[in-house]
Structure 1
Amino acid sequence: MNRPGTDIGALLAQQIFDAVRALSPDGAGVSRPAYSGIETRALDCLSQIARDHGLIVEEDPGGNRWFTLPEHRDAGRYLVIGSHIDSVPEGGNFDGLAGIVAGLLVLIRARGRGLRMPVRCLAMRGEESAWFGSCYLGSRALTGQMTAQELGSRHKGDGRTLAEHMAALGIDTGRILAGQPQTALDRIAGYIELHIEQGPVLVERDIPAAIVTGIRGNIRFRSVTCTGQGGHSGAVPRAYRHDPVLAMADLLTRLDDSWLHILQTGGDLVLTSGMVATDPARHAITRIADSVSFSLDIRSQNAEILTHMRDYLGDEMRDIERVRGVRFETGPEIPAAPALMDAGMVRDLMQAMARTGQEPFSMASGAGHDAAVFAQAGIPSAMVFVRNRNGSHNPREAMEIEDLMAGIRIISAYLEEAGA
């Protein structure tokens, strides 16, 4: 339950969250699909709120929205505060949106008071991988890093490609395919993203906010298929089986053992298989399945560990194929490199945190964020986490408005010194 209190900024933040939620209800949560009409309507809502508070609104060729103080519209260089507007299916309302609200509040509260350096708020499309299989689509298009493979990825619902969805919104996919950034990157002095923490660290430590030091990269396979040989569950002895379900279980067990070893030797790794399925139309309780599909998501802050896990995965698949007489097919790999946040910005944000009366605290991000893409594009980048109960990517996200305001105070204190 949010408790906005009497702060005008907190009241406005709650109003923005409520307005955007009303545009995207789905079950118990919200759904704002990447590159959809719903996503556009949410951006339009934010744009109207920005105009109502005297901000300039612009749209770049990739369909992202930019919000600026009138006096900074033609600034040669500026700092960006931003995040993404899309959500996962039936997700929470704060994931992504909180960072945009933070940027808007920084600008709205600066009206009439000014800022030491020009600041723009950025609302990006398409960060979540839930819709097309690839993540950071909006920021990758914005920075000229999107690939032809990503443009050709298909929507989980309607099967149309990302390029088709973009074209339907009037986005020039030829420009994106050519690797042309959607804005002048050399004008961006730095990027700051406020985001809810998607794990339990801040809740367990009873801390409202933290400064992020780095973001895990990942290796993802949307659908690995293991193919074996079907048969009667009671009539085929073990020695004659080519069971893909047990082969998958064998592989996941080996990966889990490797995960534990890496953690015990001081490494960083998380591993998830979030989707596992046989075909219910062909398989039954009394039948050995002839195929099974599953997803793999392998993450680490260490690029060498990711390379090791990629090689290890291939070796173990080949060994299990030989032993069990099955075949693995991974499909295309969806990679994302780890990203360190800018050391100078992290230091200055930690100092700003102290000036707001909060005990400075830093941590790594287990989840991926658009800030990683900006960092990989050579733009100094940083993140502020705010406390959030019940995890993320679900309707039970429970960020308190007071914690959001604590994060915004850190950014505001940072901006008071930036450009001085």
Structure 2
Amino acid sequence: MKHHRTDGVADLAAKMFDDIRLLSSDKAGVSRPAFSDKESETLDYLATRARAEGLHVYEDAGKNLWFSLPEHIDAEKFTVIGSHVDSVPMGGNYDGLAGVIAGLMVLIEARQGRRRPGRAVKVLAMRGEESAWFGACYIGSKMLTGSLPEGEFGAAHKGDGRPLSAHLEALGVDTAPVRARQPICDLSRIDAYLELHIEQGPLLVERDIPAAVVTGIRGNFRYRDIHCIGQAGHSGAVPRAYRHDPVLAFAELMHRLDDTWQHLLNTGEDLVLTSGVVGTDPSRHAIARIPDEIAFSLDIRSQDAETLDQMRAYLKTEMADIARTRGVEFERGSEVAVAPALMDPDLVEGLKKAMERVTGTVFAMASGGGHDAAVFAQAGVPAGMVFVRNRNGSHNPDEAMEIADFMVGVDILSTYMEAAS
């Protein structure tokens, strides 16, 4: 493995990460809520830094920022290097932000004459990727590509309960095109979309590799707030045969899903599933009371669309069976779904060649987490991704990306762009 340089560009990147960390610090980690003032302040900081380096900056109709070299302002066709600037509540500083700063480093090195991209390139800093705030993910890129569903346009904010549409209008966004599912940007001018992102799992750390080329992104379907409704009763007075216990119904459902997950893995299929929010209402329930309701979330992901369809049907069947046998009712609420996305084969090969030039080796892998790249791929834009090694996972304050690894990722992007024509 080749050793990577450190220089003023690496120092600038480190300073930008540190400044934005301070700007958006919370009780733990950072919080940059989607479509919030804090997200706007982060974008303002990036714009100021970019202009100081001689880059052109403009804001689109969705209040996202675009950066380019002065000579590429009016380019008819261009490659986009993009990612998001929002974070989960009390999350890490690198998820999303690393991709934006990586793109800026590519432009700054070109502006300084160190690198010469073979085609026009623009950097995109997007709002609203994380689902933590409105229950829907990739809102910013869905707006850009004209693919935001009506149900997500009216999704309620986790904190204040106001719909997404109201938050967009408060920022000054014209919501009529968004509601009409009209793309905010001219997708025909984008010849490729590239995204650098921290790895959100342990593979690169375990294999001691600084970066990787991504081959595909898992799709998913999610339910933010499923309710299992039963019947309340005294914990000591109601025999098992007469109980309608939603907690045991939920437990049985998760046990069945877990068994199916293991079976699919044993047969070579790809699947992950999570119920990250589970609970009865403590204000109404007690240790001596059979609860009448439990609420939970469900997130099911796979790289294979057929597997997702099978799981969707299986979930419905198992819920109906458990509801009948235990005398409860499941209310799933609205589903949020994103299809799996394969990265463009030509981009994957080009990025692999660039990685080999930079590091002397090649490593490719699938992405377990979802990314804006998937939305662009689904919209017909060729997409590619680079992962950078990161310890301790993501969506938590302990994200631990090293600047040296980050600069390997930047070099892969720059090397790819130099070879592009």
TM-score with structure 2 length normalisation? Answer: 0.98
**Partner-residue secondary structure (3-state), 2:359:** coil
Is the aligned partner of 1:245 residue 2:267? Answer: no
Q: Give the structure 2 partner of residue 25 of structure 1.
A: 25
Equivalent residues in 2 for 1:64-75, closer than 5 Å: 64-75=64-75
Q: Residue 31 of structure 1 aligns to which amino acid in structure 2?
A: S
Deviation at 1:175, TM superposition (A): 1.1
Q: Distance in 1 between matches of 2:119 and 2:8?
A: 24
Q: Give the structure 1 partner of residue 350 of structure 2.
A: 348
Deviation at 1:302, TM superposition (A): 0.3
Is the aligned partner of 1:186 residue 2:188? Answer: yes
Equivalent residues in 2 for 1:238-317, closer than 5 Å: 238-317=240-319
Count of residue correspondences: 416
Match of 2:166 among 142, 164, 167: 164
Match of 2:206 among 183, 204, 216: 204
Contact 2:117/2:419 (<8 A) preserved: no
Q: Distance in 2 between matches of 1:281 and 1:177?
A: 38
Instruction: Provide Cα deviations, 1:198-242, integer angstroms capped at 9, x if missing partner.
Output: 000001111100000000000100011000011111111111111
Q: Distance in 2 between matches of 1:415 and 1:48?
A: 25
Q: Distance in 2 between matches of 1:163 and 1:313?
A: 31
Q: Give the structure 1 partner of residue 154 of structure 2.
A: 152
Q: Residue 81 of structure 1 aligns to which amino acid in structure 2?
A: I
- Cα-Cα RMSD: 1.0
Q: Residue 370 of structure 1 aligns to which amino acid in structure 2?
A: D
Q: Distance in 2 between matches of 1:37 and 1:148?
A: 25
Q: Distance in 2 between matches of 1:20 and 1:118?
A: 28
Deviation at 1:6, TM superposition (A): 4.5
Work out the percentage of aligned pairs sharing the same amino acid: 63
Deviation at 1:5, TM superposition (A): 8.2
Instruction: Provide Cα deviations, 1:162-190, integer angstroms capped at 9, x if missing partner.
Output: 00000000001101111221111111010
**Partner-residue secondary structure (3-state), 1:356:** helix
Q: Distance in 2 between matches of 1:23 and 1:283?
A: 41
Q: Distance in 2 between matches of 1:95 and 1:72?
A: 28
Q: Give the structure 2 partner of residue 400 of structure 1.
A: 402
**Partner-residue secondary structure (3-state), 1:25:** coil
Q: Distance in 1 between matches of 2:360 and 2:29?
A: 32
Unaligned runs of 5+ in 2: none
Q: Residue 29 of structure 1 aligns to which amino acid in structure 2?
A: G
Deviation at 1:416, TM superposition (A): 1.3
Unaligned runs of 5+ in 1: none
Match of 2:391 among 385, 389, 397: 389
Q: Distance in 1 between matches of 2:278 and 2:364?
A: 35
Higher mean C-alpha deviation, range 192-201 or range 349-358: 349-358
**Partner-residue secondary structure (3-state), 1:26:** coil
Q: Residue 15 of structure 2 aligns to which amino acid in structure 1?
A: Q
Q: 1:301 to 1:130 in 2, by over 3 A?
A: same
**Partner-residue secondary structure (3-state), 1:211:** strand
Deviation at 1:57, TM superposition (A): 0.4
**Partner-residue secondary structure (3-state), 1:30:** coil
TM-score with structure 1 length normalisation? Answer: 0.98
Q: Residue 362 of structure 1 aligns to which amino acid in structure 2?
A: A
Q: Give the structure 2 partner of residue 370 of structure 1.
A: 372
Instruction: Provide Cα deviations, 1:259-290, integer angstroms capped at 9, x if missing partner.
Output: 00000000000000000010000101111100
Q: Give the structure 2 partner of residue 102 of structure 1.
A: 102
Contact 1:5/1:11 (<8 A) preserved: no
Contact 1:231/1:288 (<8 A) preserved: yes
Q: Distance in 2 between matches of 1:386 and 1:133?
A: 27
Deviation at 1:23, TM superposition (A): 1.4
**Partner-residue secondary structure (3-state), 2:44:** helix
Q: Distance in 1 between matches of 2:143 and 2:316?
A: 31
Contact 2:117/2:420 (<8 A) preserved: no
Q: Distance in 2 between matches of 1:358 and 1:393?
A: 31
